[in-house]
Amino acid sequence: MRGRHLENAYYAYKRLSSKDFVDDREEAPPDSIEISKDIGNPPWRRSLVHILVATISSLLFGYHLGVVNETLESISRDLGFSGNTMAEGLVVSTCLGGAFFGSLFSGWVADGVGRRRAFQLCALPMIVGASVSATTKNLWGMLLGRLLVGTGMGLGPPVAALYVAEVSPAYVRGTYGSLTQIATCFGLMGSLYIGMPAKTTMGWWRICFWVSAIPAALLAILMEFCAESPYWLLKSGRSGEAEVEFERLLGALHVKSAMAELSKSDGRDEVEKVKFTELLYGRHFKVVFIGSTLFALQQLSGINAVFYFSSTVFKSAGVPSDFANTCVGLCNLFGSVVAMILMDRLGRRVLLMGSFFGMAVSMCIQAIGASSLVSSSQSVYLSVGGILLVVLTFALGAGPVPSLLLSEILPSRIRAKAMAVCMAVHWVVNFFVGLLFLRLLEQIGPLVLYTVFSTFCMLAVIFVKKNVLETKGKSLQEIEIALLPQV
């Protein structure tokens, strides 16, 4: 009890300090906030540990995206739907359908219970769903498990993007945002390596699902010790606690300047509840449209079709899937590391345009490899090389940038809910790509299909050039004030 009283007294003291500071700031000259420049940037190490815990959700995201890649054949054989391409597609796409519903409500969850609790809630269905998939005896049990896992997958990415943007110092926000993509790469690679024995060891695919419950449990436990988003705390009227968390994340010297800058935008319009209709029209429509379109184009580029069914494509080309998937994972990881290095140097816009353009060229290479213009031996090299180049160029920008960029350009008042809507668009498109890819590959052939993917990549280059602004090195408040029309 005494500890509780001390904690309440501490927060009360902090609230008084916050109030005194606001009063002093109103009497200070307009450029008084520039004092933060005199004391330099906040230490990046303080927030890094919190970011690393949050990226466990991205690790799980990548793992569950790739867990059926190596195991789908043995799953279909053991559960009695071998050779049924629609059933195999459902095993992939049911997870994505669950992710749609999870992402659709992620904004309301994140705003309702906070970012930390939202992470813990996303871990719960992943644990339960993995257990159901690991123990099922039929297709319907597998689909139920994948649906539950997908719900957690839908909650995780938008909350991770919010959390990274809101607890990172502005000068390393792009670098930290890339860490989520790197974690996704490790998750994908882990699922591929863990799934390798599935082809020779009966029932190994069940182990693959059980393994995923371990990082999900770690996420739920470790997030209990991480900082809550100061942005969410201030929106909830808990300014004293927001100051305490800023001190944990940035250091005592930067608390007052961070609170002052946060109040520039958050003090204006946080009183009213966000209505769903505000996201579909009005002054917020433009940023929601940009985010939704970026996510749709990201999926229509064909990248997840490559991830989901790379083993099948490599097998048809006569390339050992183990070797091929290792190369895919290494290309993805290498591109993500390069993006992390360049994100706060070249900026988001340059990486996006270069990435989508590189993917367009890579898809053209695959289309040529699938045509009658080259010999069979050349076709193998072009197809495999095209896939690896698609993965590499995707990881350089189209993979890590959209979620980071969206969490930066969305106004704080609608950030969580607008992110949920945009991610729901992402999952709808992702669902249909995963469901229809194999069937389209059979019906219209790889030449036409890869040409269509290449066209969408070029449309993405044009869209980014016309609509996306650069955000590197700017605080979230500076971006919001620059983009949001005054009414």
User: For residue range 214-266, what is the model confidence (pLDDT) as tens digits?
Assistant: 999 999 999 999 999 888 888 888 888 888 888 888 888 878 887 877 776 55
The DSSP secondary structure of 74-116, one letter per residue, reads HHHHHHT-TT-HHHHHHHHHHHHHHHHHHHHTHHHHHHHH-HH
Q: pLDDT grade, residue 163 (50/70/90)?
A: very high
CA distances from 348 to 56, 63, 477 (A): 23, 26, 18
Cα end-to-end distance, the chain, whole Å? 49
| Report field, pTM of the whole predicted structure over 0.95 | no
Spatial separation of the C-alpha atoms in residues 392 and 328, rounded to whole Å: 8
Neighbours of 452 (CB within 10 A): 16
**Which pLDDT tens digit goes with each residue over 462-474?**
999 998 888 887 8
pLDDT of residue 66: 82
Spatial separation of the C-alpha atoms in residues 120 and 115, rounded to whole Å: 9
pLDDT of residue 355: 95
Closest to 149 in 3D by CA, of 163, 132, 169, 129: 129
**Tokens in use for 106?**
């992620």
Spatial separation of the C-alpha atoms in residues 206 and 134, rounded to whole Å: 4
pLDDT of residue 418: 85
Q: Taking the CA atoms of 80, 86, 88 and 92 in sequence, report the sign of the dihedral they define.
A: negative
What is the average pLDDT across 294-308? Answer: 83
Spatial separation of the C-alpha atoms in residues 487 and 371, rounded to whole Å: 55
What is the share, in percent, of the chain residues with pLDDT greater than 90? Answer: 27
**Which pLDDT tens digit goes with each residue over 110-147?**
888 999 999 999 999 999 999 999 999 999 999 999 99
**Tokens in use for 346?**
């070249």
Spatial separation of the C-alpha atoms in residues 337 and 330, rounded to whole Å: 11
pLDDT of residue 485: 56
What is the average pLDDT across 30-47? Answer: 62
Q: How far is CA 128 from the centre of its chain?
A: 22
**Which pLDDT tens digit goes with each residue over 72-98?**
888 988 888 887 878 887 887 788 788
What is the average pLDDT across 397-404? Answer: 88
Alpha-helical runs (H) found in 171-320: 173-195, 204-211, 213-222, 230-235, 239-250, 255-269, 285-300, 303-316
Q: Residues 163, 229: contact at Cβ < 8 Å?
A: yes
Mean pLDDT, all residues of the chain = 81
pLDDT of residue 423: 85
How many residues are listed for the chain in this entry? 487
What is the share, in percent, of the chain residues with pLDDT greater than 70? Answer: 85
**Which pLDDT tens digit goes with each residue over 409-467?**
888 778 888 888 888 888 888 778 767 777 777 788 778 888 899 999 999 999 999 98
Q: Taking the CA atoms of 441, 453, 423 and 328 in sequence, report the sign of the dihedral they define.
A: positive
What is the average pLDDT across 306-333? Answer: 74
DSSP state at residue 415: H
The DSSP secondary structure of 209-242, one letter per residue, reads HHHTHHHHHHHHHHGGGSPPPHHHHHHTT-HHHH
